[in-house]
Structure 1
């Protein structure tokens, strides 16, 4: 790091919350730190104001579109606190030469755990059972098994692979769809790659999404794929909300076309379609799959180190 002082805006509320090491890394490197003053995701206008004199930003899911980035003329680097960059205008960052890093692998195990938790909760109706028991309703509620069922994984990055490893403990048959196939991993874990999402949707008892949100994947799971799923099937999404057509999912759940769903993410958060909140065959999370003490600490340290390393070297490579 040079003698020059750089200012970093930190927006994620959990950054350094459990372990202050991420902040210590930035402070030791000489950064001036501006923290999120609102205790929530910042709006576009709040981001424009907060980023105006920032040299670097540690960002969660706050908007970093072209308009926000244009309001930050000094910005040289963005450290994504996570892996999804759909809230960042990556094309404009490339035009400006703004360095963007992600915390690959930092929260993979936590998200994989949560995906399995959503599968189990939806399959066994854990949430309505719990609610009924609190009303002293002690009747039996019938669910569906995970054991020896078929799991379809859409996307086989680190999180998808983590889910596959866990599913082996349930003796599940594991199908996978990904444009880039890891054949060595498939041989190791018994994963079977399929050639189409239609094949995966029709054959699977559980479908778990682990994809980035792009124009090509936006509302990928809509009425057509949902119609192919079994009436006892469960759809899980811990990736990005925009991967699912939420109106089509509501119809499928309401009409019993599929057994259930577990969603930690929505296209708009909280969800715009409030009717989803009334369904007892839907388990909902608040974009919290990565929120474990260990994952939060890992993401914070990785994000902070990426900025320290960049400003020490001053390179965009």
Structure 2
């Protein structure tokens, strides 16, 4: 039996040639639509009913999209990557659509980028590079990281990898998570598990590494910034919706936030005229921290594993648990 699969994950699309043999072996007829970063709800609704399964990026799989798909062929939704905040999981369950993701796969990759951003904020390496390319010889007095306090919000696989890297720099690290943090990890890494309020109040640099949920949307808002040290740094390698950008912008303008490195934004791609692009103390990324060749090829195969497994389960008459 041949299954029709919609593929909307940019990193997987960019390495499609490495998947073709596996697609053929699994009888998957894969279609790649024309889009940038992610598809819209309307665009998904136009085509979703024609597919048995999806290997998804960060597209909005709302109840409307899922109902439209379920009225046709859709039975399986495999999320490439970790975050499932764009998927209405309750609607998928009610409609009998199998869902999956690929957790615990990008810890080192995302942590490397978080470390890189932290170093760039401390030493302004990007500014010196730009200046030298323009014939200038810029000398910036940086900030030593040893002894500074970093606060990591979200201490799962990614957060733990970030903690290890920050500790190697000689930083004191505070951690907050809605779930209990493994005490063995705390002992091993000398991480202090603290309340969110204390993390806000005591950190020189705050790094976001948690999932986005309805409960933590705009976790960093005006009230949170008000608790923080003057000149705090913000590093976000998680989800744009964790930060209220309408509160972040004035916090940067008045110096409450001294610098920020943002790999993710509330709207992606970030418009060129967005106010955040006007600050030279803000580093802007392109939601790319997990994107290494090794990680992408590894997760491609996991996503295919999941979509094939769940298609077979659906064909056998199973229903999602």
Q: TM-score range by the shorter chain?
A: over 0.9
Q: How many residues align?
A: 313
Matched, 1:158 2:157: yes
TM value normalised by structure 2: 0.92
Counterpart CA distance in 2 for 1:190 and 1:40 is 38
Structure 1 counterpart of 2:54 = 57
Cα deviations across residues 55-106 of structure 1 (Å, max 9, x unaligned)? Answer: 1100101221111112212211111111111111111001012111111122
SS at match of 1:52: helix
Structure 2 counterpart of 1:80 = 79
Cα deviations across residues 156-183 of structure 1 (Å, max 9, x unaligned)? Answer: 1110011011112102111101121211
SS at match of 2:266: coil
Task: State the superposition RMSD in angstroms.
Answer: 1.8
Q: How does 1:27-42 map to 2 (within 5 A)?
A: 27-38=24-35, 40-42=37-39
Q: Is the 8 A contact 1:144 1:232 kept in 2?
A: no
SS at match of 2:54: strand
Higher helix share: 2
Shift, 1:40, TM fit: 4.4
Cα deviations across residues 15-56 of structure 1 (Å, max 9, x unaligned)? Answer: 153474444323211122112234542222221123121111
SS at match of 2:260: strand
Cα deviations across residues 272-291 of structure 1 (Å, max 9, x unaligned)? Answer: 67111010111110111111
Counterpart CA distance in 1 for 2:239 and 2:136 is 36
Matched, 1:103 2:102: yes
Structure 1 counterpart of 2:211 = 212
Structure 2 counterpart of 1:10 = 7
Q: How does 1:1-317 map to 2 (within 5 A)?
A: 4-15=1-12, 17-18=14-15, 20-38=17-35, 40-73=37-70, 74-181=73-180, 182-195=182-195, 197-271=196-270, 274-314=274-314, 315=318, 316-317=320-321
SS at match of 1:103: coil
Counterpart CA distance in 2 for 1:258 and 1:38 is 34
Counterpart CA distance in 2 for 1:309 and 1:20 is 22
Q: Is the 8 A contact 1:107 1:299 kept in 2?
A: no
Which structure 1 residue ranges, 5 or more long, are not aligned?
none
Q: Bigger CA drift: 42-51 or 172-181?
A: 42-51
Cα deviations across residues 144-203 of structure 1 (Å, max 9, x unaligned)? Answer: 2222211111111110011011112102111101121211211111111002x1210111
Which structure 2 residue ranges, 5 or more long, are not aligned?
none
Counterpart CA distance in 1 for 2:67 and 2:311 is 21
TM value normalised by structure 1: 0.93
Q: Is the 8 A contact 1:110 1:292 kept in 2?
A: yes
